Structure 1
C-alpha cells in the first residue's frame, strides 16, 4: 500500500467514527450545548473513548499519532456537528499535546502526555498578552529567576480552552530571551476571570489569567530559549490551519441547511430551490467550500511533508474565515425570516462564523504578515 492510499484510509476511518458519533451523540443535544454554553461530561467521556484527545500525541503515551492531515480532516468533520467540541480538541491537541510531544523533556512527556492523550487533563497555550498568536513582539508577562524557580507576573487575556484547562503553557519575557513555561491551574499565585461568553463557539469558554509573582519550577520550561521562535511558528501555523477547518465545517453545515430548507419551502407553488436567486447563493457557498477545502488539504499535506507552510496557513485562515462569514449569511438569507429564529440552526452558524473570524488573530494583521513576506 502506498503512502497516499494509507493516508486516505486513515482519513476515511476517522471521518466515519466521527460521523457516527456526531449523528448519534451530538446532534440530539447540539442546541443545548449552544444555549447552556456547556459541553456535557458524557460527550467529553465519549471523546476519550475514540482517542480524539491524543490525535497528535505519540503512541508511546497513548496517542493516536495521526498525520496532521488526518487530524485536520477529522476536526473539519466534527465541526459539522459541534464547533465548540472541535475547537476544544483543536486547541487541546495543538496547544498542549503537540507542544509537549515535540519540545517537552522526557520527564514532561512521561508526567503529562498520557493524561493529555486520554483527556484526563486538558491543556492550552497562550502567546500574546491580548490572547492573539501573532502579536508576540511586545510581551509584558515577565518571568524572572528565583533560585530553582521562575517568578511570573502579568496578565493574559482571552485564553482559548481557558475555563476547561488544567494547565497553561505561557509565553513570557525573560529579559533578553522569551520562552514558554507550563503553569498548573491550581497554582496559588494565579487568578482567573469569570468565563467570557462570546457570540459563538458556545461551550468552549475563554478566560483571562493574571499571574502574581507566580512561582513555577525551572523544569516547567518547554524547550530551550533558542527553540522559542520555532515553537511560536509551529503554534501559529497549526492553529491557523485548525481554525480554517472549523470555518469550512461551519460552511458545510450552512450549505446542508440551505439545501434542506430550500427543497422544503415553497412559494408560488414552487420549491424555492428552483429560483435562480436561491440557486446562486447555494452555488456560491458550494464553490467556496470546494476551493477552501482543496487549499486546506494541500497545505496540510505540505505540513506532513515538512514543508514551510507558515504564510500559506495565514492565507487559508483569512480566506476560510471570510468565506464562512459571508456564506453563513447567504444561508440565513435563504431561510428568510425563519433564519433569525433559534429553532433553526442557521443563526448559530452565523454566530459561530463571526466568533471564529474575530477571536483567533485579526485578518488585517495576517494580511500585513503576508505582505511583508512578499515585499521584504
Structure 2
C-alpha cells in the first residue's frame, strides 16, 4: 500500500506543477472560451513527456507507472480540466488499449509515435445503443481478402477531431474485437465538434467508419477478446478520473480558503464563521479519502493486480466527491463563485462530466456490488 510517494514521483509532481502554473493556468479560460487547446500547448505537453508518462521506456514512455501518471494528471487538473481530459483520452484509454492487449509488433509500431506525441490517440467504444451497455455495440468488422472491413459509427469520442490513431472495437464472427485504425485510412469520417457544458476545450466527435480496410496485423490481441481488453483499459481510465477529481478538488479547496480569509463580512473574515469552517472541513475530509483510495489502487495496478472493483470504487467516490466540493466552493465564494471572472464556475462545469464518462456512477455501483455479492459480502484489506 502506498503511504509515501517515491522520490521520482515527487520530482515529477514538481515538474508538472511548475509547468501547469506557467503554461496551462494562464490559458485555461481561453481554452474554455475558444473550445480548443492550442497546438503549441499540446507540443509543449508532448515535449515534457506527459503523453507517455505511464508507459515503459522501451516504448518511449516515462516509466513512471500508474502512480506517476496519476500524479501528473492530478497536477494538470489543477489548471485545466479540458487539458487533463485530452491527455487522459490519449494516454490511459486510446494508447493504453494497444499496450494492454496488443502484440509486441503492434506496440513497437504504434506506441513510440503515441508516447512522443508525434501521433494522438482516441478510444472508440461508445455507440448510440452502446453507452452504459457497451457490449451491445453494432459496429462490425468482416474479413475480406486478408483485410478487415469496418462499418459503423462511434459517438462521444474524446480527441476525435485531433486524433491520428483510433483504438476501435467492433463485432466480428467470434465476438467483440479491437483494431488499430489510422485516421488516414480511406472511409474514416469525423463529425462536428460537440457543444458541451464543460471541458469545452476537449474536442468530442462522432467517428464514422465506411468500409474502412484495416490490415490483419492491426488486431489488438485476439479476435473475440476485445471486450475484455476494453474493460481492462477502462480500469486505467477510471483511475484517471480519480486523479482528475483529486486535482480539481485540491485546487478548489485552496482557492476557497484563500477567498474565505480575504472576504470580510460582519467585520471579520468569513473563514472565522462556523458555516464556512464546516464546509472547509468537509472538503478536506473528502480529499483525504479521495487521495487515499486513488493511490492505493494505482499502486496495485503497478503491481499487476486485479483492480476492477478498486477502479470502480475510485471512479464512483472521487467523481461524486469532487462535484460536492465544487458546489461548496461556489457557495463559499457566493456570487463571485457564479461569475466567470474567477475559475470556480469553470471547475463547477468541468467536474460534472466525471460522473458520466468512463462509466456512469450507476454502472460503477453495479460493478462494485456484483463483485461484493460474488465474494459473499466478505471484504479483505489487501493493501
CA contact (8 A) 2:175 2:225 kept: no
Q: Structure 2: where are the runs of 5+ without partners?
A: 375-383
CA contact (8 A) 1:130 1:158 kept: no
Q: Which residue of 2 aligns with 1:193?
A: 191
CA contact (8 A) 1:56 1:97 kept: no
Q: Which residue of 2 aligns with 1:295?
A: 293
Q: How many residues align?
A: 374
Q: Which residue of 2 aligns with 1:370?
A: 368
Residue from 128, 138, 141 that aligns with 1:140: 138
Query: After TM superposition, where is structure 1 displaced by more than 3 Å over at least 4 residues in a row?
Result: 3-7, 130-134
- Gap change, CA 1:4 and 1:128, over 3 Å in 2: closer
CA contact (8 A) 1:151 1:214 kept: yes
Residue from 158, 161, 164 that aligns with 1:160: 158
Q: Which residue of 2 aligns with 1:101?
A: 99
Structure 1 residue 49 corresponds to structure 2 residue 15: no
CA contact (8 A) 1:55 1:66 kept: yes
C-alpha distance in structure 1 between counterparts of 2:131 and 2:18, whole Å: 34
C-alpha distance in structure 2 between counterparts of 1:178 and 1:71, whole Å: 29
Instruction: Report deviation, 1:235.
Output: 1.0
Is the deviation greater in 134-143 or in 150-159?
A: 134-143
SS for the counterpart of 1:215 is: strand
SS for the counterpart of 1:203 is: coil
Q: Which residue of 2 aligns with 1:125?
A: 123
C-alpha distance in structure 2 between counterparts of 1:148 and 1:26, whole Å: 46
- How far does the alpha carbon of each residue in 1:162-200 deviate from its partner, in whole angstroms, 9 at most, with x for none? 122112111111023221011111223122210112111
C-alpha distance in structure 1 between counterparts of 2:16 and 2:220, whole Å: 32
Q: Name the TM-score, length of structure 1 as normaliser.
A: 0.94
C-alpha distance in structure 2 between counterparts of 1:136 and 1:5, whole Å: 36
Q: Which residue of 2 aligns with 1:215?
A: 213
CA contact (8 A) 2:172 2:223 kept: no
Calculate the aligned-residue CA RMSD, in Å.
Answer: 2.0
Q: Which residue of 2 aligns with 1:29?
A: 27
C-alpha distance in structure 2 between counterparts of 1:132 and 1:80, whole Å: 32
SS for the counterpart of 1:182 is: strand
C-alpha distance in structure 1 between counterparts of 2:43 and 2:191, whole Å: 26
- Gap change, CA 1:61 and 1:308, over 3 Å in 2: closer
Instruction: Report deviation, 1:81.
Output: 1.1
- How far does the alpha carbon of each residue in 1:331-371 deviate from its partner, in whole angstroms, 9 at most, with x for none? 00111111111001100111011122223321112212222
CA contact (8 A) 1:238 1:313 kept: yes
Instruction: Report deviation, 1:54.
Output: 1.3
Q: Name the TM-score, length of structure 2 as normaliser.
A: 0.92
CA contact (8 A) 2:77 2:84 kept: yes
C-alpha distance in structure 2 between counterparts of 1:13 and 1:131, whole Å: 44
Residue from 245, 249, 252 that aligns with 2:250: 252
- Gap change, CA 1:231 and 1:331, over 3 Å in 2: same
Instruction: Report deviation, 1:14.
Output: 0.7
